[in-house]
Chain A
Amino acid sequence: AQSVTQLDSQVPVFEEAPVELRCNYSSSVSVYLFWYVQYPNQGLQLLLKYLSGSTLVKGINGFEAEFNKSQTSFHLRKPSVHISDTAEYFCAVSYGGATNKLIFGTGTLLAVQP
């Protein structure tokens, strides 16, 4: 079955430190990958997406992610986090073809501490 795995339910990190949030997906010939962020009491909003082309994708708020086909991973990174980055981060995958629905991972809470 198609799936997305986010192994870390919570990642604590100090302000200005680098962070990596991990995401792995079940393999498929064609795949589109997304990272969404959810701030408290809000809906999700898109951080970045990989559809094709360069495997390094840059998004909003200084985040970036790298698509690694051999490892079926799409890890999210930021070199220096801020308190305002505290939120829930969701990795999502679309397998294209006849559907554009997204399958979401279980989310990772990024907790930035001063």
Chain B
Amino acid sequence: DAGVIQSPRHEVTEMGQEVTLRCKPISGHNSLFWYRQTMMRGLELLIYFNNNVPIDDSGMPEDRFSAKMPNASFSTLKIQPSEPRDSAVYFCASSPVSVGAAGELFFGEGSRLTVL
């Protein structure tokens, strides 16, 4: 199995630009999570989907952030416009467990975003 695949691995952009991060979950997994990791705030859950439907987006910082999951094999996290405080490592994770049970999360290698 290829694991969770994220792209790009590194992104450097200027303030005000649009950033799109992409994630391909493990085939057959029906839960997908977006996390943000910073030194100051640690790991924060931004949003998660079950069966392509957003279940909890309470962690999305503000309207500049949006996430979609158009099908079971692809998700995007978009920041528009980006700001320097958005600089972080963004992780995508998928899980074979659906709503109602706890399960193991499989993480991608992350997308390191730097906003100048």
Q: Which A residues are closer than 8 A to B by beta carbons?
A: 32, 34, 36, 41-46, 49, 51, 90, 94, 96-107
B100 touches A98 (CB 8 A): yes
Q: Which of B28-81 contact A (CB under 8 A)?
A: 31, 33, 35, 42-43, 45, 48, 55-56
> Bound state CA distance, A103 and B42, in angstroms?
11
A43 touches B110 (CB 8 A): yes
A100 touches B98 (CB 8 A): yes
In the complex, which of the residues B35, B42, B104, B108 contacts A106, with contact meaning CB atoms closer than 8 Å?
B42
> Bound state CA distance, A34 and B105, in angstroms?
10
CB distance from A102 to the nearest CB of B (A): 6
**Centre residue among A90, A99, A102 by max chain B CB count within 10 A:** A102
Q: Offer 6 A-B interface pairs, CB within 8 angstroms, sorted by A.
A: A43-B107, A44-B105, A45-B107, A96-B101, A100-B97, A100-B103
Sort A-B residue pairs by CB-CB distance and give the 7 closest, nearest first.
Answer: A43-B107, A32-B102, A94-B102, A104-B43, A106-B42, A44-B107, A46-B104
B31 touches A100 (CB 8 A): yes
In the complex, what residues of A have CB within 8 A of residue B33's CB? 101
In the complex, what residues of A have CB within 8 A of residue B113's CB? none
CB distance from B5 to the nearest CB of A (A): 11
Given A100-B97, A101-B45, A103-B45, is A43 in contact with B102 using a C-beta cutoff of 8 Å?
no
In the complex, what residues of B have CB within 8 A of residue A44's CB? 43, 91, 93, 105, 107
Closest residue on chain A to residue B50 by CB atoms: A100
Closest residue on chain A to residue B33 by CB atoms: A101
Given A32-B102, A100-B98, is A90 in contact with B43 using a C-beta cutoff of 8 Å?
yes
A99 touches B55 (CB 8 A): yes
B95 within 8 A of A: yes
CB distance from B75 to the nearest CB of A (A): 15
Q: Which of B80-116 contact A (CB under 8 A)?
A: 91, 93, 95, 97-105, 107-110
> Bound state CA distance, A46 and B103, in angstroms?
10
B91 touches A43 (CB 8 A): yes
B45 touches A102 (CB 8 A): yes
